[in-house]
Amino acid sequence: MIASGAEASSPDTLAASFHISRRQFLDPEGEPCAALPRVAEDGDFLISLYRGMALARAFAAKCVSGSGGAGATTFATALGQAAATSTHPVTLIDVDPVGAGAERVAGLDDVPGAGWASLLQSAGRLGSRSLRSSLPYRDGMAVLGWGDGPRSELAPVVVREVLSAARRGSSLVVVDLPRHPTAGARELLHRCDVVVVVTLLRLPALAATARVVADLLPGRSRGTPAAMVVTRGPASALDPREVAETLGLPLAAAMTDQRRLAEAVELGTGPLPRRRGPLFRAARSTLKQIEGHAVGVGSTG
């Protein structure tokens, strides 16, 4: 027997249904799971442990640059910083092998912790607490990055397991994706809920962004993640609303360049040393759009 939907809504519900202790619904890490009885051939009841069932799933948003220099890694990090609190943890996952490195942008490159190199050598199921406790972490945000070692191909099975663990242990998962995803990066794309495309307000950048959108979201078919666009550029550049209309995506935010952004990153404070400025306002506006989409998904599921 496998419970699904409302039947698997909580360990308490399942425990009450089968008249067994709630303790049996906690795995060795203390995470909820489902202990479901099934009938063996001899009629005896056996307990099958299905870890990971009956879990609240974090929303997963993915950021991608529409063109070179658009700043998706910076914006993904800003999203994480703006959303993270002590009670609402965020996990930022960097799968862009040619990017600057999310842990560097976040100011966590000198903080001890695991990266992709160590996770690629692991086998088996990842616990959400084990993952978060192993990653560089500050102010409610954990970051999974590449470190200083070689950046090898990410196996889809490992990426799938990492995202699953991150969602179980976070309120929000933010993914920094390359413009031209590998097989592992595409695995994350298909499992994310929202794609945030960051583009510059210039004609060459718009043309490149249109190609990226066509590649990542072909035909916007059923089952593809929702998408929105964030624009960056001066007020004298292209109209953000017209750019969004050209791309066929809703406009989540339009921001100008953040003053002293490079200095903040160099100092290790991350892109949001203070909760103000155009980058913070754009991140907050995008988070509201993401939260609205999450509510809509939950109300129709």
Q: Are residues 35 and 76 in the same domain?
A: no
Higher pLDDT, 45 or 209: 209
Query: Which among 219, 167, 215, 155 is positioned nearest to 191, based on CA atoms?
Result: 167
Q: Are residues 112 and 75 in the same domain?
A: yes
Report the pLDDT value the prediction gives residue 124, as an integer from 0 to 100: 67
The residues pairing with 59 across neighbouring beta strands, listed in sequence order, are: 172
Q: pLDDT per residue over 134-192, tens digit each? A: 999 999 999 999 988 778 888 888 888 999 999 999 999 999 998 888 888 888 888 88
Q: Are residues 27 and 144 in the same domain?
A: no
Q: Are residues 42 and 188 in the same domain?
A: no
Q: Are residues 260 and 125 in the same domain?
A: yes
Q: pLDDT per residue over 66-102, tens digit each? A: 888 889 999 999 999 999 988 899 999 999 988 889 9
DSSP E strands, 182-292: 194-200, 226-232, 251-255
φ, ψ of residue 32 to 5 degrees: the values are -65, 145
Q: Are residues 269 and 246 in the same domain?
A: yes
User: What number of H helices and E strands is found in the chain?
Assistant: 11, 10
Q: How many CB atoms lie within 10 A of CB 97?
A: 17
Q: Are residues 140 and 202 in the same domain?
A: yes
Q: Are residues 261 and 239 in the same domain?
A: yes
Report the pLDDT value the prediction gives residue 279, as an integer from 0 to 100: 95
The residues pairing with 230 across neighbouring beta strands, listed in sequence order, are: 198, 253
Q: Are residues 76 and 37 in the same domain?
A: no
Q: Are residues 90 and 196 in the same domain?
A: yes
Q: Are residues 165 and 17 in the same domain?
A: no
For residue 10, the 8-state DSSP code is: -
| Average pLDDT along the chain | 78
Report the CATH number at residue 259: 3.40.50.300
Residue ranges making up the domain that contains 45: 5-51
